[in-house]
Amino acid sequence: MMMMMMIAQGYYTHHHHQLANIVHQKLAFKCGLSNGPPMPYYKYEPQSVLENFSYKLYYNRTIMTDQTTQNSRQDTVILDKSIREANLIDIAIPNSHNLPSTITKKLQKYTDLKEEV
């Protein structure tokens, strides 16, 4: 049973990272942070910080805030400098029957961070 859980967790983590890489690459191209042709998702290695005049894109970094928050590490954060807006993106790969509870947990988990940012 323990071995099966470890294998399942490994698959979850692998899929999570693949999806996070896809989201990061798409945002980088959309915001003009990356040029050249898109590369296959399985070869893409996101940089931890990409920045230009309008946007800053973080990947898998802890967000520093005035108040300490328990959950301050997001998969991706995109900062729009022109309108001073931050979008916190956290990836989840739930089963379809877990979707509502996963959404609720994620929203509760990051409420303090949202208020600080």
**Is residue 90 within 8 Å of 74, Cβ to Cβ?**
yes
Percentage of residues in the chain having pLDDT higher than 90: 31
Q: How many residues in total does the chain contain?
A: 117
pTM over 0.85: no
Q: Other CB atoms closer than 10 Å to residue 94's CB: what's the count?
A: 14
**What is the domain partition of the chain in residue ranges?**
2-116
The rounded distance, in Å, linking the Cα atoms of 108 and 106 is 5
Sign of CA dihedral 11, 6, 9, 21: negative
- Give pLDDT tens digits for 18-52: 989 999 999 999 999 988 788 898 899 999 999 99
